[in-house]
Structure 1
Amino acid sequence: MSTNATSSAEFSFTESRRVIGDLFRPHAWVYWADFLLTYAAGAYSFAQVSGGPIYARHQGFQGTFHQTFFFFVSVLLFYRASLFIHEVVHQRNNERLKWFRIVWNLVCGIPFLIPSFVYYTHIDHHRRKHYGTDHDGEYLPLEHQQGWQILFYLSWSLIIPIVAVVRFLVLTPLAWVIPGFRAFVHQHASSMVMDPTYIRPLPTKKTLKIIYIQEFGCFLWSLAIVVIAPLAVGQWPTPFLIHAYLLSVCIIFLNSIRTIGSHRWSNAGDEMTFLDQLLDSVNYPHHAWITELWGPVGTRFHALHHLFPSLPYHALPEAHRRLMKSLPANSPYRQTEERSLTAAIINLVKRNRQTTMRAASQQAQA
């Protein structure tokens, strides 16, 4: 990626850090209040759609306005609750949030089959030498790939819920008893990433212990919902499973759309400079009333997050305001803003077409 008129001399990391230096302390009460209220409201909305206990014969989606409204409300709320995984991983070593990380995994991570260990690889996405390379599982060169691959990426939302159940209900016990299979499962089926060819590095003993605990919880939860409870009750909770599947698909699809808009995806696989990585990332500071719905928990300030990964999510809006006020007019940071998610995706599609057409023309001339 070329920075053209910009240069690293025009951006001062030290000065930026000084401007927002008092914002790096996470406020635990904000995390607790935000997550618990969001989760409780999501659970209430979910129950409004189901219309009764999991195994009630009358349960099912009737297509009423009431059910439809609360279904989409539950999608947005559980989507927000799920994205706290981003903070859980980045604040992994912060003792102030130790119990928050534990509770999040117990009430959200494990029941939703997204325990925090599947996102530990996100830290590699922030390593300067890894970003946008084969070592970064959260990056695809979408600007340089065929256009259909963007749609292919979005289509994964249809199968990921099923894959997650298979991962924890089937592969987990197999990894416990089959020698050598543990490494395969860890490297190929234990990461929340974009790149399906990504190979996760083997964990340390300390991390492996955490993985064992969390995946055991996911195994027990899956076993209870899919096997034990149906055998005990004598019937499958089919409406509940369909409801949970559709909810998961919508959440994953929404997150995939957000992900596509979080970067410009201009790198073709080479190592990028710090400035190029910043310019390849996007902020959405405008229209907070709508951007906070699809980019909650600070994810709408993705470029700022890449600049300061340890900055707590609740401080990002204020940090962005301060930087935009204090940085010079020619600061590269100002180029990270986009008007809207729609505009960013349209720009990506246009750049993708231009790149693929240029590549096809060069190939024809060769």
Structure 2
Amino acid sequence: MDKQVDMRRVQELVADLRDPRPGIFYTDLLLSAGLGWACFAGAMQPGPAWVRGLAFVAAVLLLYRSLAFIHEIFHQQGMNGFRRTWHALSGVPLLIPFLLYLPIHQGHHNKQVYGTAGDGEYDQFHGRAGAAIAKLFVLNVFLPLALWVRFALLTPLAAVLPPIREKMIPEFVHMALRMPFRAPAIKESARAEAMRIEWWCCAWAWALVAVGVFAGWAWVGAWALLVIAIATLNTIRALGGTHLYVEAAEGRDARGQLLDSLNVDSNGLVAVLLCPVGLRFHALHHVAPYLPYHAMPTAHRRLMAQLPAGSEYHQVTVKSLGEGIARLREATRAVSPPAETA
């Protein structure tokens, strides 16, 4: 039986699922962010340490879920009101606005760019998976400070010093896995909104200083720990549920991206919490990137049931994040370095 995936058949099977349902988006975001910030505030109140600790863990998980909508915002860019709401509840308060993600992700699905040195969401783990993974976790520790510097200092300086806007900002802080990496410019149509959000982030960064001075630096420290914890969860997800990180000299088409990606076919608590908002189905996403997150479980079940048993789609599906990490280690240990180009 042919194991190769028929991409046209895949498109046919999920064609009716492509329309986003705004009610689901808003309800999910409002509950996740609202409860998340309430738990964060609760964790800062006097009381038993175990109660405060549980509240903080809940805040991390809920706000991680709300922040994960940044991926949906890219692929559902017609939902302008939702993007503004997301910025108010998650992007600005966490200092991780859409403008840090937009220029990185816009090349990731391009078949000429995917998996090459020009793909900011990719990196070469060949022969150095352990060191590359360790670097990601170390960078997470410094993320809150880097975000504060990016918006509190670089945003106003960039307004008067063009070299900061043209060179330092594209290279300093963005949501690229590959470091160092120069982010491409944000498209002209999105620049005005991005600039407004950037100044809101600048205002919030300085508001954090005011909070520290007048309410206590424990609040700022807790905010920084929150950002580090969210980034750490996302790193674990990226290692076990996205790609195999075998860089190539040339990009890959949709089928090539499928074979380099993973689905985590698990309803277990760990997978659901660490891969929120459709992120359990990353291989599916690279086959049908237009699908909204709420449609992805249905789409995945259809493909698993109706594609030939043992197909390539079945082969890129794992049962846990642990199995996904094992796949990554195996792939990066066996691969040869990418061929040099002239």
State if a TM-score over 0.5 links the two structures. yes
Whole-angstrom CA distance in 1 between matches of 2:118 and 2:43: 41
Count of residue pairs brought into register by the alignment: 335
Runs of 4+ in 1 over 4 A off after TM superposition: none
- Map 1:248-327 to 2 at 5 A: 248-261=227-240, 262-327=242-307
- Map 1:138-177 to 2 at 5 A: 138-145=121-128, 147-177=130-160
Say if 2:245 and 2:332, in contact at 8 Å, map to a contact too.
Answer: no
- Map 1:108-187 to 2 at 5 A: 108-120=90-102, 121-145=104-128, 147-187=130-170
Q: Secondary structure at the match of 1:26?
A: coil
Say if 2:122 and 2:245, in contact at 8 Å, map to a contact too.
Answer: yes
Residue 35 of structure 2 aligns with which residue? Answer: 41
Indicate whether 1:91 and 2:79 are aligned.
no
* Residue-by-residue CA offset, 1:24-82 (whole Å, 9 max, x unaligned): 0000000011110111111121112100xxxxxxx6xx771101111111110010011
Indicate whether 1:219 and 2:199 are aligned.
no
Deviation, structure 1 residue 148: 1.6
Deviation, structure 1 residue 239: 0.8
Deviation, structure 1 residue 236: 5.9
Question: What amino acid is the match of 2:49?
Answer: T
Residue 328 of structure 1 aligns with which residue? Answer: 308
- Map 1:24-35 to 2 at 5 A: 24-35=18-29
Larger Cα Rg: Structure 1 or Structure 2?
1
Q: Secondary structure at the match of 1:68?
A: helix
* Residue-by-residue CA offset, 1:247-275 (whole Å, 9 max, x unaligned): 11111001011111211112344323432
User: What root-mean-square deviation, in Å, do the aligned CA atoms of Structure 1 and Structure 2 show?
Assistant: 2.1
Say if 1:285 and 1:317, in contact at 8 Å, map to a contact too.
Answer: no
Question: What amino acid is the match of 1:242?
Answer: G
Question: What amino acid is the match of 2:287?
Answer: L
Residue 363 of structure 1 aligns with which residue? Answer: none
Whole-angstrom CA distance in 2 between matches of 1:245 and 1:6: 51
Stretches of structure 2 that go unaligned for 5 or more consecutive residues are: 338-342
Residue 224 of structure 2 aligns with which residue? Answer: 245
* Residue-by-residue CA offset, 1:192-246 (whole Å, 9 max, x unaligned): 111112112223433221221110000011112214x55xxx6462110111111
Say if 2:108 and 2:120, in contact at 8 Å, map to a contact too.
Answer: yes
Residue 340 of structure 2 aligns with which residue? Answer: none
Deviation, structure 1 residue 353: 4.3
Whole-angstrom CA distance in 2 between matches of 1:330 and 1:66: 47
Whole-angstrom CA distance in 2 between matches of 1:178 and 1:134: 29
Question: What amino acid is the match of 2:196?
Answer: I
Residue 343 of structure 1 aligns with which residue? Answer: 323
- Larger mean Cα displacement after TM superposition, 295-304 or 280-289: 280-289
Q: Secondary structure at the match of 2:177?
A: coil
Question: What amino acid is the match of 1:294?
Answer: L
Whole-angstrom CA distance in 2 between matches of 1:304 and 1:47: 37
Deviation, structure 1 residue 294: 0.3
- Larger mean Cα displacement after TM superposition, 129-138 or 63-72: 63-72
- Larger mean Cα displacement after TM superposition, 315-324 or 135-144: 135-144
Residue 103 of structure 1 aligns with which residue? Answer: 85
C-alpha distance 194-269 of structure 1, shift in aligned 2 (>3 A)? farther
Deviation, structure 1 residue 146: 5.1
Indicate whether 1:201 and 2:201 are aligned.
no
Say if 1:138 and 1:194, in contact at 8 Å, map to a contact too.
Answer: yes
C-alpha distance 327-347 of structure 1, shift in aligned 2 (>3 A)? closer
Stretches of structure 1 that go unaligned for 5 or more consecutive residues are: 52-58, 360-366
TM-score of the pair, normalised by structure 1: 0.86
Say if 1:143 and 1:264, in contact at 8 Å, map to a contact too.
Answer: no
Whole-angstrom CA distance in 2 between matches of 1:146 and 1:336: 20
Say if 1:76 and 1:251, in contact at 8 Å, map to a contact too.
Answer: yes
Say if 1:186 and 1:202, in contact at 8 Å, map to a contact too.
Answer: no
Say if 1:183 and 1:202, in contact at 8 Å, map to a contact too.
Answer: no
Q: Secondary structure at the match of 1:111?
A: coil
Deviation, structure 1 residue 342: 1.0
Deviation, structure 1 residue 354: 4.8
TM-score of the pair, normalised by structure 2: 0.92
Say if 2:244 and 2:328, in contact at 8 Å, map to a contact too.
Answer: yes
Deviation, structure 1 residue 14: 1.5
Question: What amino acid is the match of 1:28?
Answer: P
Question: What amino acid is the match of 2:226?
Answer: L
Whole-angstrom CA distance in 1 between matches of 2:215 and 2:57: 25
Residue 74 of structure 1 aligns with which residue? Answer: 59
Say if 1:161 and 1:249, in contact at 8 Å, map to a contact too.
Answer: yes
Whole-angstrom CA distance in 2 between matches of 1:254 and 1:328: 34
